[in-house]
Structure 1
Amino acid sequence: MWKIAIIDDDRQVLKGMKQAIPWGEIGAEWVGESTNGANGLELIRQKKPDIVITDVYMPGMDGLSMIERLREEHYEGKFLIHSGYSDFEFARKALRLNVEDYLSKPVSRKTLHEALQRVILAAEKENKIQLEQQELRDKVILYEPFVHKEWLKTAVIGTMDDSNKEHPMFNSDKFLSHLVLGIEIMRTPRLSKVSAPDRSLFRFAIQNIIQEILNEDKLSFDYVELHGYHVALILHYEQESKYEEFKNEAIQVAQKIIDSVQKYLYINLRIGIGGLKNHWSSISESLEEAFHFLSQETTLMPSSSLFEFCDATGKRFHTESMLAKPMRFYHQIIEDIKNTQGKMAEKIINDYISTLKEYKDSSLPPSFNVLGAQFWMIASYALNDEKIRLWEIFTESQIESELLNIHTADQFEGWLNDKIKGICINQNWHENLKHKQAVDFMKQYIHENYTREITLAELAEKVFISRNYLSLIFKNATGETINHYIIRVRMEKAKALLLKGTLKIYEIAESVGYKNIPYFSTTFKKHFGITPVELIR
């Protein structure tokens, strides 16, 4: 409700003004009156009305002096001046004080009504702009950690493009070196039996333990979750540090992490340590070096105290499969499966295989069955949290048999494409059912809660689907956006109540979730082509 105060030294004018204002129709309420500027000043300070209707000539303090004092105090309400005098100097001063309108007495009902509607629309527009600006500021603050987190992920995986290089951190590390600890959470029967939310809790607990260890050792670091059960822990060192110092420190940190996670969570880890890099642009090489060691014995390393260190240049692990950056490939293909049902998979696979083929003449050719086993293990872990269970689509014996018969890059490419298609076909069937259930739930939820504000974030949380993806699903299923559907439900409910004729317009507006009556009327007219008043006449 818009709060309105009236200041005039003529009590008859005060009474007539209160009777002339269509309070319910414009969604406003009277909050006080005064017969002079000094008392009006105190009234406005206390009640903080949205709109003040004031006379100019009054005893003690005139209307413009009162407005000037309030503007100095940063009062941002709207002023309507009504006066029986036509004074150019007063009018010019009123404009300087940002007065909305200057009305000559006597003021007709129509003129007053039109002036108030203009003021309310202006206030509504300003409020909307301020709200949008505040929401934008809030989003910047809210999303800043996520933006930083995504930037770190693109840097460590090696998917950074030119836009990512505009990030302040890209060129802020002239005096820092970095290395990656590649951490793999071992998939034990204990972890395999728990639900996806519980696995997330385990990962959260592991992250907390790692952060406590590194904070206690006063180390600079960043923690980046990759996919499934894999983590990149980036350690930062001053470039003046001696090689042997950070080498020994990284080994000690890795051992502490392994021991602590085993002790407190009964979870086994494997950690590989990449080479030292002097810039963010090459940090992905350290990630590949860290995980390359762990990939050598994909299924035969039960030890929880297993880690290896690469030399500062990374030459120790510069084999063909490492140069092809398999960790980047795994991330790209898994994200493609999750987000686009494999639409880019064929190109991603072809680019990866083309890189492997560049090293076909080497004395150390890639081991395709090992790469395939590693891919299948990581995909199984990562997609399981999306409720895509690969062992329900393909049997373990089938995968093992197929991998044994892969000897060339072309065979490996064909096998990867075949498996991705099989996963996506299965996923699409489940996704269609899941989407229908989500849309049906949202429709029902909107019909049950249309009287209050409903946000996209709230709906996304209810159905466990990201906001952007949820909008797309709803639009594809219904042909309209979620916001349009909410508005349509509210407008249909409002129309039914208006035709029933038992409630006032502002009461109906509030009952369908609108506190701003003019905005409700505007929305109603846009939806039905007529205003609420025109409907009930």
Structure 2
Amino acid sequence: MHNVLIVDDEPWVAYGITHVIDWNSLGYNVIGEAHDGLTALRIIQEKKPELIISDIRMPGLDGIELLERINLLQLETKVILISGYADFEYAQRALRLGAFDYLLKQVDKAKLTESVARLSELLEQERRAGLRTDQFLDELFEWLEPDNTMTIGRILANKGVETRFPDYRLLSCLYSPQSQAASFSQEGTYELEGVIAVKVRTGQHKLSILLNYDGSEYPLQFLNHISDYLLNAQYIGISSLGQLSTPIARLYQESDIAACTAAMHGGVQIISYKQGDLSPDIRKVMLNLEVSIKEQARDGIFDLLGRLCAACREQSLYIDQIAMIYNQIVSIIYKYHGGSTRIAEIEHLHYEHIARYYSSAESLFDRIKSFFGLLTEEEVHIHNVQVEKMLEYIDSRYTEDLLLSAIAKHFKISIGYLSTLIKKETGMTYSDYIMNKRLSMAKDLLGDASLSIHDIVHRVGYKDYFHFNKLFKKQFGITPSKYRKL
């Protein structure tokens, strides 16, 4: 059954739409009515219904604005808009924004039935396509795992993709959240001006593209392809050169590191991956930092952290190198402050997590500095009842993008102390607690065959299929699609 929400500022009209057709016989369950756009938006975010029937004219947030918000939040909800008069401009704008249909009041029973039945057919087609996509993405996920040795040649042969040039590079293209859906419209295999491209979406705002070309005769052909067809990407990472015998996972990780590096440093759109070691100067600063941490020399710690941060920027370090520096610092902290109640507030991170949580090297090093500030912060005792309220607050919103700082602000305590309380009460860090709640919900939703894994990813609060897959496999030892088959 698909869920539908009826939205109209006139309660009698909403009631009429709820009862004008037999929703159950068409495969729909009316989950409720809303009489203004803002209330509707809150219900949509919480319940994520498949269909909204909404009036155009409403106070606060009208039907067009509601549709715009749904698009901005990238929800899969379909919208049928209703107007009390034939306004062609409204209809045009609604359909341009992606409304499924546009009907006139008074709502005609036959037209509404036809529109809803047509939507049911579309949702079923999307469900079948989603299941096929899930299977392919699950295979791709396995191939792109860092320790996988599946070669480019074997993957192309398995998928029946023919290439004829000797050289391969993999690109990771990151798009801004405001990018148009057209950026992803050419998924698949195509050839343009001497370059064969295999293009697949590997994240909500991310494309991975395997380029095949002849580097000996046309060494710059792949760069021409980028400048001609991919410059609408916000950041692009380019792997090293590969051949048919090269593991695709290696090229993917190289391109991903390069793209994440471009995003972290900003200002540079395109970066090619190069392997490198940390400079002797950085290693010397790290040794001095360990001494300062051991001696609890706060001023020295802050000065050396500032120097490391500056070096990351000035030397344009790749994000995996920045992750190496960060994790060495965390290890030093555990070595000398392992008994502190604050230790749970800082943890080792993979470069992917750093890219996900920190927008710059400065923000990452500010986080480390804040940890040392917390070591001397005076704690105010909070009653157990208040801690329970905090957890109830988190439990009611864990599928949202709920920042720890927002919770701390809501309850008027410091981020560090809140983190400590959550760790003490649950035995987990805040991020692990949220992850466990989301993955448990995902596990339950996998029992519903009508939902694709893509649907489930969004319902539990994640945006990136591959990130979700990694977390699920790490937690349960099996990918979501394989769990579904058990």
Same fold, TM-score > 0.5, yes or no:
no
> Highest Rg: 1 or 2?
1
TM-score scaled by structure 2?
0.33
TM-score with structure 1 setting the length: 0.31
